[in-house]
Structure 1
Amino acid sequence: MLTSQKRRNIGIFAHIDAGKTTTTEQMLYQSGQIRSLGNVDTGTTQTDWLEVEKARGISVTAAATELTWKDTVINIVDTPGHVDFLSEVERSLRVMDGAILIICAVEGVQPQTEVVWHALRKLNIPTLIYVNKLDRIGANPRRVMAEIQRNLTNSCVPIQFAQGYEHTFTGVTSLLMNDEHDFYEQLVEAVSEHDDSILHKFLEGEGITNDLLKEKINLLAASCDLFPILFGASNKGIGIKELMDAMVDYLPQPKGSKNAPLAGVVFKIERDKKLGRLAYVRLFEGSIQNRNTITNVTQNIEEKVTQIRKVKGNKSEDLRELQAGDIAALTGLNHVMIGDILGGTKGIPQHPHMAVPLLTVKVEWEKEGDYPAVVKAFQELVDEDPLLDLQWQQEDRELHIKVMGKIQLEILKSIMENRYQLKVGFGQPAVIYQETPRKSGEGLIRYTMPKPCWAVLRFKIEPGERGSGVIYHSVVRKEELLERYQNEVARRIPEALEQGLCGWNVVDLKITLIEGEHHVVHTHPLDFAVATPMGIMQGLSNTGTKLLEPMLNFRISVPEQFGGKVLHDLSLMRATFDSPNQFEDRMIIEGIIPLATSMEYAVQLASYTKGQGTITTNFHSYQECPEGVLATRIRRGVNPLDQSKYILSVRKALS
């Protein structure tokens, strides 16, 4: 087994159709991992092995595989590019030591590219930028480099140059082997900005050896002070070996020791027909062997590992031992969830939060008898993607889920049919709004009847800054309200805020417990579980709430003759946007638009521009709705404002 001294963990990221899966397939082929090349269009690639991925030709899950190049074992995670599957991307980011960001040489920097880039920078992950599809009509490497510098970073620099482009593209040449190309001076200048020795040699006209320059690039790339740019055409296999060389040369090896206390994180859950539930784990410290019992510190439970499988596409082998720095799938962990930490937290990076489900839909099934099976299937799917956030309303026999977009619904429908042999449909997607307090106010609840019970709470509720979430604290002394009762109140606050006055989640507020009282005889801790939602809702009824709606960043590209029509449409949809930019005969418009008014616009735009107009979007933020916008959601369960009925329902005494 190779040690972590000869290992890389690398994620492949890009906007949809930039060529991630094709690039991964070429790496597997040219490294000798597979004997023949698969094809995205025919559904024969190693990392798109789900039936739905083969049928649609897109990645919908992050797929782990492995190859060996220059005596280095490289774990590669090929991630989805479509915005509907951003949750898969964010979970993969957490366990990577390095990244390859692929950018199409024709389309350039796209919205998803920017979203991933900002997440990579937040986590400080060393990144190679690979400009793909240089053989395509419209490819322009210099224009794309200018876009990268303008929209992503000034700290990027080419380490090779392309031999031609479009139909003349034949290959790439390293700048370390050709110091006469104009890119070479850019490279040396970029390195010299961070290294005085290179600057001195450059100014004095002294020769800079390839080994020295390579060493400096390695250090700067590892510290995220420099981001090397490479070129290629993955569909033809051009530039792939050079890209793998750069992965070994410029992306870091994982840290950690197999002899340290265990520390790992679960980033993916899958189900295998033969092996059952697979928990994909990145180990940052320590080691795990078959039959080991490990502690899940997130859930405070212990479970036994039955097998450790190294997954390579749709195949796997028994690894027997997982060491620090490596990634594998564990069987036997039947209760583990995505994001759970195993052992301890040392060395485990924070979880990036990029994906925000903006739509909610009702699940519908074909046959009444399918209801139990549909519930069970979606409970399993929530294990694999917690952001689905299944709402099972048993009383009404209804299921509701949250999704990123309509493509995700098509994929879920296909998965249900192929994996579970269940035919399901979905109701009309509805936008997920939020609520926030209009003003400050108080909520008081005296839960003292019917006996035995006693819980008195007074909350102060104040509006918070946009994006601040929920801030809760207590100023009540423990002598007035025992600590265990105060802890129960704190645990129930999130639940109490799930449904506000309009039925939406309440956010961006500060809640302070300013008064509390218990009874030495009549009080039970669960009294505060009952009282907290009533006190919070009483407070919200006094403050009032206002609606927040999801806003999207958008980028529209249309032929110039349609520009006036698009600008008129945007005004009607309540969009805000900058002055349009002109590129040759096309108009580019960027800005922010409400999801509620723009859900169908991509279809409309494609229709009246005859396919020549495109719109790409990604989540921006939640912002206040105009006063005339009303949106309510049917409440689940009894409203705590109807206190008598609510108490009876909680006590299971409601007939």
Structure 2
Amino acid sequence: MIYRTVGIFAHIDSGKTTLTERILFEAGKISAIGTIEDGNTESDQLQEEIERGISIRTSFHVVPWTTTFGSFEIQLIDTPGHIDFRNQVTDLLPAMETAIVILEAGTVVQSQARLVIEELRKANVPIVFFINKLDRFGEEYLDTLVSLEEILLVPPVSLFQKGKTGGWEYYLENEQVFSKTTKEEILASDEESLLNFWKEENESSFLPRKTLQTGTKEGKIYPVYGGSAKTGEGVKELLNLVLWTGPKETDLVSKSPLLVLSRRTDPQIGRYAVVYPTVSMPVKKAFQILTKSGKKPNDSGKNKNGHSNENKDQEEKTDPNSNGILGLTFFSPETGEAQDMLIKGKLGYLLANEILDMEPGKPVSPVGLASSETERKFNEPALSPFSVVLEPENSSEKEFWLCRLNELVWEDPGYRLELKEETGQIALFGRGELHLEIGIRRISEKTEKKLSFSSINIAKLELFKKMSHKVALEHRAFEDQKSSGALIAVLEDTADFSKHIAFEVSLPEEVKHSIETSFMEACLHGFYGEEVCGLKLRVLSYEMPPGDSQTTLTLLKVAILAGVKECFPSNTYLVGPLTEIEVMVDADHLGVVLSDLSRRNAKVVSIFEAVAGKSHLKANASAENLLGFSGALRNMTKGIGISWERTAFTSEFYAVLKE
């Protein structure tokens, strides 16, 4: 059996879940095709997914598929399309062998598809494109191909065409009906093969097929099929093409034999991770590798039973409930049975335990073992500036809610918790408005306990204006008998959100430390009450007066706190995260949407007409102004408007807020 891990990626509402449902049906895994409208698809199981009609978390499916060139077990992964759940996409990339990217006919390549194409190419994952919804838009896909070429910077190879008697013809299934030009487009990625093809002058040459196989794997060819996930046209052919193309070779990226794709919680078995074995080996040996260089169980030197770990046989005792070493249970997702062997490329479930870290997108590693630079190849996106404050209505139920929140964070590390010690409240950070809204709904399901939560908080900063301001800082006390000494410095802006101190004079370490700490403290609360960023303090001179040094340093701290703060009222301005938004609506709804965006002080970047009376617009605005826009859009367009939002807060990407 040949195992192939295949991910399905696309912009929101392009048909990922519909395609997954059709593939499961064609493979005989389900007897009837579910629909998003009816809320009965195999991929969307969460109540929030069913109610909203969107995918919230990654789903995994095992699909047997037989071709003329072999029998396969496809490990099909349906990914969320909304940007708030992007981390679930990036977590899969280290183990992804082949990607299907769905494009929607009748429009250009949309933003989330563009982003995922870039990420897949960066991760060297072979890509097969599928232009969906041809049952609705017919042959109106030329704009899609042109747009795709602009992104790839090389022409994609269209390997489907309209048949003479209707329907669509596909290259692998009917190669002889395709022109010599199409075959030359395939061979253009390999000059030697193209020259040999011309020498052969043989229309039945196997060279184009072979080049298609290797060229896609090497990222030199980007094949395109088209059809309809809804009707099933082109879906079988798409799977054959995906399996014909060469997969990415997933190497052992560290000493760990397992990569984590996702984490789950099951009522029966508890926490577990979906993992990808990078090598074939016994489970027992894998556990030995994982714990060899890390923290051993009970590193006090005693084993689980309190005896010395000198007895190696006892330490490697087999758990009666597991086919592996004590502490490692690896089992099959199809049968639920514990496994003795890891098989390279065959996904499995690994039960969580106290001695192993199972961070999505990274190798399984011993607890406390720092990740290497290689293991950090796929960096996590920056934490979102969105948060809510949570508080149980009954203080005795705090542990209950913390338990639920920790389960949420376990499944999706895109969330983050912070306990506010001064108030006893809990802050939940998420990647966006939708992300937080769904997180709260998920933890509140199936319980009568009540949880109060604030409106969404959005991060703000005060940014130091572009300037250079010389200051003389001094503070006197005890009837002017004591002085901090005169500190001459320059306050100036930086190129980013950072804060720096530069000493252009030699000073004792305790003086430098006092200046640094008081400067940072002064920046915690600016004129508008927010943290002040983007400034630098250059210390030009300071002469410490004689007398008690401790008193002098205390007065110096007061001088800096007061002096720096005096500069903030006229020299800082409020900034916050900026949101880029794309909206697809019927043309007759465009006016009311534009009006709503105008009220939110959004800047419209572009508007163009798509097919079938659809309008596509791009705009940007401060994130705080766009809170609630998605819900408003659904109301304005009677539920058929689609929006995609990307929010960031960096020194290059921010909005200036009203002061």
TM range (shorter): 0.7 to 0.9
Tell me the equivalent position of 1:595.
623
Which residue does 2:26 correspond to in 1?
30
Secondary structure of the residue that 2:92 maps to in structure 1? helix
1:20 aligns with 2:16: yes
Instruction: Report matched runs for 1:341-360 at 5 Å.
Output: 341-342=363-364, 348=375, 350-354=377-381, 357-360=384-387
What is aligned with 2:219? 224
- Kindly tell me: are residues 49 and 572 of structure 1, through their superposed partners in 2, closer, same or farther at Cα, counting changes over 3 Å? closer
Provide the C-alpha distance between the structure 2 equivalents of 1:157 and 1:271, rounded to a whole number of angstroms: 42
Correspondence for 1:527? none
Q: Following the alignment from structure 2 to structure 1, what is the Cα–Cα distance between the partners of residues 228 and 464?
A: 53
Indicate conservation of the 8 Å contact 1:201/1:207, yes or no. no
Give the CA deviation at 1:374.
Answer: 0.8
In structure 1, the residue matched to 2:260 is 266
The farther-off stretch of 211-220 and 278-287 is: 278-287
Number of the residue aligned with 1:310:
332
Q: Which residue identity does 1:388 align to in structure 2? A: Y
CA distance in structure 2 between the aligned counterparts of 1:204 and 1:400, rounded to whole angstroms: 69
Where do residues 567-582 of structure 1 align in structure 2 (5 Å cutoff)? Answer: 570=597, 573-582=600-609
Alignment of 1:134-145 (within 5 A): 134-136=134-136, 140-145=140-145
Contact 2:578 2:654 in 1 (8 A): no
Match of 1:390 in 2: 417
Q: Please give the residue correspondences for 1:518-597 in structure 2 after superposition, counting only pairs within 5 Å.
A: 546-558=573-585, 570=597, 573-583=600-610, 587-597=615-625
Q: Distance in 1 between matches of 2:601 and 2:441?
A: 35
**Greater shift after overlay, 191-200 or 222-231?**
191-200
| Aligned residue-pair number | 582
Q: Please name the residue that 1:617 is paired with.
A: 645
1:127 — aligned with what?
A: 127
Q: 1:92 to 1:14 in 2, by over 3 A?
A: same
2:124·2:248 contact (CA, 8 Å) conserved in 1? no
- Cα deviation for residue 193 of structure 1 reads 3.3
Asked if structure 2 preserves the Cα contact closer than 8 Å seen for 1:264 and 1:348, the reply is no
Aligned match for 2:244, one of 249, 262, 280: 249
Change (3 A) 1:66 1:176: closer
Cα distance in 2 between the residues matched to 1:577 and 1:125 = 35
The alpha-carbon distance between structure 1 residues 244 and 604, as it changes in their structure 2 partners (threshold 3 A), is closer
Please say if 1:48 is aligned against 2:75. Answer: no
Gaps of 5+ in 1: 444-457, 516-531, 631-655
Q: Deviations over 1:336-393 (max 9, x none)?
A: 2525543585975722445752422222545444322112211221222223221222
Matched, 1:284 2:240: no
Superposition deviation, residue 202 in structure 1:
6.9
Alignment correspondent of 1:174: 171
Name the structure 1 match of 2:368.
none
Gaps of 5+ in 2: 298-325, 366-370, 472-487, 542-556
1:196 to 186, 191, 200: 191
Letter in 1 for 2:20: T
Which residue is equivalent to 2:479?
none
1:174-223: CA deviation from partner (whole Å, max 9, x where unpaired): 267245446x63x3343343222354467779335452101111222112
Residue 103 of structure 1 aligns with which residue?
A: 103
Give the secondary-structure state (helix, strand or coil) at the position aligned to 1:11.
Answer: strand
Change in CA separation of 1:505 and 1:579 when aligned onto 2, cut-off 3 Å: same
Determine helix, strand or coil for the equivalent of 2:81.
Answer: coil
Q: 1:346 to 1:85 in 2, by over 3 A?
A: closer
AA of the residue aligned to 1:617: E
**Whose Rg is larger?**
2
Q: How much has 1:228 moved relative to structure 2?
A: 1.0
Quick one: distance in 1 between partners of 2:453 and 2:228? 40
Partner of 1:642: none
User: Considering only aligned residues, what root-mean-square deviation do their CA atoms show, in Å?
Assistant: 4.9
Question: Equivalent residue for 2:357?
Answer: 336
Q: CA deviation at 1:288?
A: 6.0
Amino acid at match of 2:16: K
Query: 8 Å contact 1:461–1:540 — kept in the other structure?
Result: no
Identity of aligned residues (%): 23
- Which stretch shifts more, 382-391 or 199-208? 199-208
Question: What CA distance in whole angstroms lies between the structure 1 residues aligned with 2:490 and 2:124?
Answer: 39
Q: Check conservation: 1:91, 1:267, Cα contact below 8 A.
A: yes
Match for 1:327: what amino acid?
L
Q: For residues 511-570 of structure 1, what are the alpha-carbon distances to aligned partners after superposition, in whole Å with 9 as ceiling and x for unaligned?
A: 99999xxxxxxxxxxxxxxxx9x9999989878765432222223345556666665655
Alpha-carbon distance in structure 1 between the residues aligned to 2:92 and 2:161: 30
Match of 1:651 in 2: none
Report the CA distance between 1:289 and its aligned residue: 0.8
SS of residue matched to 2:149: helix
Aligned residue in 1 for 2:231:
236
**Which stretch of structure 1 is more off in the superposition, 153-162 or 286-295?**
286-295
TM-score, normalised by the number of residues in structure 1: 0.72
- Which residue of structure 1 lines up, in the alignment, with residue 546 of structure 2? none
Q: Distance in 1 between matches of 2:339 and 2:492?
A: 54
Partner in structure 1 of residue 402 of structure 2: 375
1:93 aligns with 2:93: yes
Of 504-513 and 57-66, the range deviating more from structure 2: 504-513
Distance 2:223 2:56 in 1: 28
